[in-house]
């Protein structure tokens, strides 16, 4: 039962076998994933983990239908079984099918993509990583901080895709990141957490240093301590300024997901849901105010949704999703573009691992920056709240009705930050919410998510989101003790 490395020639052989058996399309994709993580809890090392996972996924279109099989074995019997199973599954699919699969055309691709980094995060000695985290932990200590956790992680993914159309591409993607959380607890008060698990970038160790985790730990500690004793907010329409970290999630949930084209085809209707942004709405639907433009871009340096090619073999592209408040575009795969009868505007077919069928996922979906400095944006607020980081979030199956709460709400008074409030949440409808945006600042920054959940079986995808501070007028907030 040994997992064996699959050679490039074996991939070519597999797609040739598929073609000889009548498949109109086939691809074979090896994926090797490595991950190292160190975590420290309350000053002590909580865990040191190194994971490895490698295997092969194989897709065919046969009789107009998909079949997919995946294995982490690579002996001859396993590979023969893989091909047989993929064809069996395609035949079974064809037995209950009203619409045959059509792939939007692309030119065959060849080449390599590698993440550029200064220092390999896997090469940083474990002792150095632990020392770094212990310094971060020490900075998190506070009079009411009951639990402190911090972690550093490195990820490497090697992929090789060969298709029956002549595509042969390989990629090595390296990511580095950190996690940080504190929980303030005091008798008679509601516990106040402050955390961020989205500090991750396609980069080397230099990104971990760039994060300045010690300073961030102090800030989180101070936010949690202050929130613990803060007065309860008052329910009323309020000017909300969102930090880029918060907006990254809002963009993800309320623009990224509803523009996934597989939702139009109801591929996700029973689980992830559909959308409120239909093809007939393109160019017409008022999604937000004229300040709101959003772009999907798989070429952003350092983005967690950046790659050379997606898992259909489509080269990295960028496309507009929202243009000055109007809905204009979708995230597509070759299959969904083919079904919609449009060219591939951006390749977004992605699989979490070798064992997963590629489906439409976000790449880097970002709110375009404005031109106003953040300080000027803030000066325009007489009375409002700065929403620094999301806590709970919940969306309906069309990505239209949403509810967010925040870990940290800071009071804005006459353009200045002045204390904290607690208990702040808001629910809204997507176009109504983005329609209230009256300014986007110029301090655009990139955030990374490791675990966007979608698909069956569940696939946790890496995606990137950029945003700047932005201001929203008269947002009704709700308050919970």
> Please, which of residues 38-97 interact with another protein by CB under 8 A?
38, 44-55, 57, 65-73, 85, 88-93, 95-97
- Binding test (CB under 8 A) with another protein, winner from 5, 76, 99, 341: 99
Dihedral (Cα; 386, 389, 392, 398), 10-degree rounding: 80
Among positions 5, 20, 76, 125, the unique one binding another protein when judged by CB under 8 A:
125
| Closest approach of another protein to the CB of residue 468, in Å | 26
Tell whether residue 480 is a contact of another protein (CB under 8 A). yes
Cα first-last separation, the chain: 55
- What is the Cα–Cα distance from 111 to 21, expressed in whole angstroms? 28
Q: What angle do CA 14, 18, 22 make, to 5 degrees?
A: 170
Binding of another protein at residue 291 (CB under 8 A)? Answer: no
Q: Which residues between 399 and 428 bind another protein (CB under 8 A)?
A: 400-401, 403, 405, 425, 427
278 touching another protein, by CB under 8 A = no
Residue 9 three-state SS:
helix
- The single residue among 13, 16, 130, 415 that binds another protein, judged by CB under 8 A, is 130
The answer to the question of residue 285 lying near another protein (CB under 8 A) is no
Query: Does 191 participate in binding another protein (rule CB under 8 A)?
Result: yes
Does 271 participate in binding another protein (rule CB under 8 A)?
yes
List binders of another protein among 348-367 (CB under 8 A).
Answer: 355-357, 359
Residue 208, classed as helix, strand or coil, is helix
Compute the least distance from the CB of residue 215 to another protein, in Å: 24
In the bound state with another protein, the residue whose beta carbon lies nearer, of 109 and 144, is 144
Q: How far is the CB of 459 from another protein (least distance, A)?
A: 10
Cα–chain center distance at 452: 5
Site size toward another protein (CB under 8 A) is: 81
244, 443 in Cβ contact below 8 A?
A: yes
Task: Assess 185 for contact with another protein (CB under 8 A).
Answer: yes
- Of residues 5-44, which lie at the interface with another protein (CB under 8 A)? 38, 44
With beta carbons less than 8 A apart as the criterion, state whether 272 and 457 touch. no
What is the token pair recorded at 220?
A: 């989180």
Q: Which stretch of DSSP H or E encloses residue 159?
A: strand 145-163
Give whichever of 317 and 479 is closer to another protein, judged by the CB atom: 479
List Cβ<8 Å contacts ≥24 apart for 276-280. Answer: 276/398, 276/399, 276/400, 276/430, 277/327, 279/340
Which 196-255 positions form the footprint of another protein (CB under 8 A)? none
Where helices occur in 289-349 by DSSP H, the ranges are 334-340
């Amino acid at each position: 039962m040994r997992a064996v490395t699959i050679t490039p020639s074996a991939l070519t052989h597999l797609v040739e076998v598929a073609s000889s058996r009548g498949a109109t399309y086939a691809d074979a994709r090896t994926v090797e994933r490595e991950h190292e993580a160190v975590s420290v809890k309350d000053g002590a090392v909580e865990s040191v983990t190194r994971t490895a996972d490698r295997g092969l996924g194989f897709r065919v279109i046969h009789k107009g239908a998909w079949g997919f099989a995946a294995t982490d074995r690579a002996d001859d019997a396993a590979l023969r079984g893989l091909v047989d199973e993929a064809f069996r599954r395609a035949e079974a699919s064809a037995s209950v099918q009203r619409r045959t699969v059509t792939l939007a055309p692309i030119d065959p691709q060849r080449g390599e993509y590698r993440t550029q980094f200064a220092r390999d995060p896997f090469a940083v000695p474990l002792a150095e990583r632990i020392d770094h985290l212990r310094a971060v932990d020490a900075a998190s200590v506070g009079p009411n901080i009951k639990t402190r956790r911090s972690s550093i992680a490195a990820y490497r993914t090697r992929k090789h895709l060969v298709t029956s159309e002549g595509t042969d591409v390989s990629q090595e993607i390296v990511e580095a990141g950190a996690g940080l959380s504190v929980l303030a607890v005091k008798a008679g008060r509601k516990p106040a957490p402050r955390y961020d698990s989205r500090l991750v970038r396609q980069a080397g160790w230099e990104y971990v240093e760039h994060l300045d985790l010690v300073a961030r730990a102090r800030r989180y500690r101070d936010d949690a301590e202050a929130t613990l004793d803060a007065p309860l907010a008052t329910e009323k329409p309020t000017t909300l300024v969102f930090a880029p970290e918060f907006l990254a999630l809002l963009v993800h949930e309320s623009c990224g997901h509803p523009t996934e084209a597989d939702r139009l085809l109801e591929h996700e209707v029973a689980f992830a849901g559909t959308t409120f942004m239909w093809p007939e709405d393109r160019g017409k639907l008022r999604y937000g105010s004229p300040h709101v433009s959003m772009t999907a871009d798989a070429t952003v340096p350092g983005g967690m949704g950046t790659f050379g090619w997606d898992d259909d073999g489509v080269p990295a592209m960028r496309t507009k999703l929202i243009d000055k408040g109007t809905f204009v575009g979708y995230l597509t795969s070759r299959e969904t573009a083919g079904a919609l009868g449009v060219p591939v505007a951006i390749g977004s077919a992605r699989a979490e691992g070798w064992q997963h069928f590629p489906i439409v996922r976000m790449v880097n979906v970002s709110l375009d920056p404005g031109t106003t400095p953040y300080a000027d944006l803030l000066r325009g607020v007489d009375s409002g709240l700065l929403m620094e980081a999301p806590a709970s979030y919940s969306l309906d199956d069309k990505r239209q009705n949403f509810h967010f709460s925040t870990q940290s709400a800071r009071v804005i008074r006459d353009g200045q930050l002045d204390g904290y409030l607690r208990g702040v949440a808001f629910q809204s409808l997507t176009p109504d919410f983005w329609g209230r945006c009256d300014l986007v600042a110029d301090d655009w920054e990139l955030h990374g998510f490791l675990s966007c959940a979608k698909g069956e079986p569940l696939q946790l995808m890496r995606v990137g989101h950029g945003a700047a501070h932005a201001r929203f007028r008269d947002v009704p907030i709700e308050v919970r003790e």
